[in-house]
């Protein structure tokens, strides 16, 4: 670890929901929930106003509606989120050549590499200026964590939420981490947290006191070693400018274990279709199909099958996932299922897969650690339809967005990011004067000079 807090972690606040609020004046300061609105939909992002009611990401949308019935429910607009993300990432790259994006709304920055900071004072100034530049360029807020390691910078940004900055000074890490929950550490999810709790370990300090040998015995060699190092605030991972996409995958965790084998098979097919949509949305195809199954006892199995060449054919991927499932015992119940594709390429050799089943190699078991890292990619663009939150234009009333539709009618609120809250009007779904439209910019002009940071000699 370095001796100055010059690793920065940026996490945009409730990103999808905040973009929607910035785009739609009538939603500012109100509960906004973005996600799939169908019967199987889940929450992608909830605004802070919605979180007051207990709504959070990955929650089933039906549950969110029960908790916050008066919130605005919108489908995602990934093209808009990508555009805003590009603006934010450009500001980060103005600070340093070493920027490691983790998702559309999150990234690490090595401030030393760009000479944007070299000590605590200059790092804090760089983080403060970055937050101001982001607000000027996009109208949005982001939370910044500054520390001597990636793990601690990420923890700091979480402590800074929403719309804040937290700096962890070198030498104070152990005291800061000690009383925190073990769930604060990366890689400690509900299952590992429960396992540690049953062993009487609930805080990071108790984790460190348990010792490396005990953690290895409890959690296995790789996880035990890593968790012990994190408990001691050890993290020497560098900021990596380019993160290669290793796989595209989707998975679902179920509130109630699935026991019906037919239902398990149906879920795997559904996940395979979702995975294909993400592949195609990213312009990718892949050779290796991976099935992930977490059983009732939290044991996790993976099965993989490598095809003769890359594909994005949904039938081929569904068939491969079904074959992999045949080799998995789901007796006792399943709590998580996932389907992924690795061995990615930017082309498809469709002629190789006329007979999907014949293209399969033998399925083989692999430990969980070898499953390639999943990345979050936007789904395939939806067909033109009146979807809640999407942009429209009317020949007479101008730009607006869909509040809802049904029974042959569509309700539109006419407003822009720079206007006052607009009026609502209802039209027939086939009204010839109403059409889909491109989103408008969140702010006028370029906004902000862009992430200058602070060079040596400027601080103070």
What is the mean pLDDT of the segment spanning 433-442?
92
Domains and CATH numbers, the chain: 1-171+373-460 (3.30.70.270), 180-231 (1.10.150.20), 247-372 (3.30.1490.100)
What is the mean pLDDT of the segment spanning 52-66?
92
pLDDT tens profile 327-372: 888 888 999 999 999 887 654 433 332 323 333 333 333 333 223 3
How many Å apart are CA 418 and CA 237, to the nearest integer?
Answer: 42
Please say if the pLDDT value at position 282 is more than 80.
no
Rounded to 5 degrees, what angle do the CA atoms 203, 207, 210 make?
135
Q: Is the CA virtual torsion 179, 183, 186, 187 positive or negative?
A: positive
Q: Is the CA virtual torsion 403, 405, 411, 416 positive or negative?
A: positive
How many Å apart are CA 33 and CA 55, to the nearest integer?
Answer: 8
From the CB of residue 328, how many other CB atoms can be counted at a distance below 10 Å? Answer: 20
Kindly report the pTM of this predicted structure. 0.69
Q: Which two tokens stand for residue 190?
A: 């509900």
How many Å apart are CA 398 and CA 381, to the nearest integer?
Answer: 24
pLDDT interval class at 451 (50, 70, 90): very low
pLDDT tens profile 78-126: 889 989 999 999 999 999 999 998 888 999 999 999 888 899 999 999 9
From the CB of residue 427, how many other CB atoms can be counted at a distance below 10 Å? Answer: 19
- Our answer to whether residue 319 is catalytic in this structure is no
The number of CA neighbours under 13 Å toward the Cβ of 432 is: 0
Catalytic residue among 49, 100, 106, 173: 106
pLDDT of residue 327: 86
pLDDT of residue 40: 67
- Do you know the residue count of the chain? 460
């Amino acid at each position: 670890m370095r001796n100055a807090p010059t690793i920065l972690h940026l996490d945009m606040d409730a990103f999808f929901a905040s973009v929607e609020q910035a785009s739609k004046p009538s939603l500012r300061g109100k509960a906004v929930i973005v996600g799939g609105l169908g019967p199987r939909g889940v929450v992608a992002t909830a605004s802070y106003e919605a979180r007051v009611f207990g709504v959070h990401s990955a929650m089933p949308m039906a549950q969110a509606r029960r908790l916050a019935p008066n919130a605005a429910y919108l489908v995602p607009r990934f093209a808009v989120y990508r555009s805003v993300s590009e603006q934010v990432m450009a500001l980060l790259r103005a600070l340093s050549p070493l920027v490691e994006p983790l998702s559309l709304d999150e990234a690490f920055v090595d401030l030393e590499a760009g000479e944007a900071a070299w000590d605590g004072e200059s790092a804090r100034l760089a983080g403060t200026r970055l937050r101001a530049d982001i607000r000027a360029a996009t109208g949005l807020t982001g939370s910044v964590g500054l520390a001597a390691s990636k793990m601690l910078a990420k923890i700091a940004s979480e402590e800074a939420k929403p719309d804040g900055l937290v700096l962890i000074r070198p030498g104070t890490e152990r005291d800061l981490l000690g009383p925190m929950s073990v769930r604060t550490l990366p890689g400690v999810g509900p299952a590992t947290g429960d396992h540690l709790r049953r062993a009487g370990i609930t805080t990071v300090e108790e984790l460190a006191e348990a010792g490396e040998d005990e953690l290895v015995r409890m959690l296995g060699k790789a996880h035990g070693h890593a968790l012990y190092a994190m408990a001691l605030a050890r993290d020497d991972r560098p900021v990596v400018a380019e993160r290669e996409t290793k796989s595209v995958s989707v998975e679902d965790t179920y509130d109630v274990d699935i026991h019906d084998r037919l239902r398990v098979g149906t879920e795997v097919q559904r996940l395979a279709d979702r995975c294909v949509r993400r592949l195609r949305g990213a312009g990718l195809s892949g050779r290796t199909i991976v099935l992930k199954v977490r059983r009732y006892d939290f044991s996790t199995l993976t099965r993989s099958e490598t095809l003769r060449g890359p594909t994005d054919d949904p039938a081929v991927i569904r068939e491969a996932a079904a074959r992999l499932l045949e080799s998995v015992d789901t007796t006792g119940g399943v709590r998580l299922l996932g389907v992924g594709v690795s061995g990615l390429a930017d082309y498809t050799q469709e002629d190789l897969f006329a007979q999907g089943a014949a293209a399969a190699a033998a399925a083989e078991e692999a430990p969980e650690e070898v499953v390639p890292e999943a990345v979050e990619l936007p789904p395939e663009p939806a067909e033109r339809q009146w979807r809640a939150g999407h942009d429209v234009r009317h020949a007479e009333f101008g730009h607006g967005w869909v509040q809802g539709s049904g029974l042959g009618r569509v309700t539109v609120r006419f407003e822009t990011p720079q206007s006052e809250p607009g009026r609502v009007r209802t039209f027939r779904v086939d009204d010839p004067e109403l059409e889909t439209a491109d989103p408008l910019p969140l702010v006028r002009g370029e906004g902000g000079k862009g992430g200058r940071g602070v060079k040596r000699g400027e601080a103070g």
